[in-house]
Amino acid sequence: MEHGFAVPAEDNGRLRFATMDDLMSVFDLVNESYRVENGTEGYGFKKEGVSRYRSVSELQKELDDRNTVFLLRLDDSGATTGVASLYRAPQQRDRAYLGPIAVHSSAQGQGVGSFLISASEMMATQAGCAWMDLCFVNLRTDLESYYLKRGYEITGSSEFAATEVLSRPAKLIHMQKQLQPSKFSS
C-alpha cells in the first residue's frame, strides 16, 4: 500500500476499502449520485447522459492506483450507502485529495457524507498528512457553504477542463483544510 491509509479501528465494521470486486457497485453509486449535475433542472451543468465516470475502465484505473483508496460506508446489512475517494500524491506526502464523494439516494440526509469526510480526514491525519484538498464545480452552490462549515477554505479556482461535457460554463473551486488530530466518530 503506497497511500499509507488505514481504516480506523473504531469504525464498528461499517467502513472498508473498495476492491475490484466492488468496481460495478462503486461505478453505479457514483454515477447515480452525480446525476444531479445532468440536464437542465437543479444544478444541471453537464450535457444530458454525461456521467461522473464515463467508463468502467476509467474507474478501474483509479482503483488500481496505489496512491488512491475508495472508502465504502456500509449499512447494518452490509450494503454500500456511500463512497469517498482519497488520493495521496507521491510528490506531496503531506497532502491528501478528497473526492469524489457519493451517497446513495436512500441514505442522503443521514450523515453518510459527513461520516465519510470525517473518516477520510482522520485517515489522512494518521497517514501523516497535514492538509486535505478538494474541488467542486462552482455551479454546485450548496457545496461551498457545506465545506466552509467543515473548516475548508477557498484557495482558488480553475477552468473546468472537460468543457465538452458542459451544457453551460463552469469553473472548479479549490479548497483546502489544515488537518488536526481528532477522535473518530461513527
pLDDT of residue 37: 55
Query: What's residue 45's pLDDT?
Result: 47
Query: Can you tell me the distance from the alpha carbon of 28 to that of 8, in angstroms, rounded to the nearest whole number?
Result: 26
How many CB atoms neighbour CB 125 within 10 A?
16
Terminal Cα distance for the chain, rounded: 25
Mean pLDDT of 76-102: 91
Please report the pLDDT score of residue 14 as a whole number: 85
Mean pLDDT of 66-88: 92
Comparison of pLDDT for 146 and 93, the residue scoring more: 146
Alpha-carbon gap, residue 71 to 84, rounded angstroms: 5
Give this prediction's pTM.
0.84
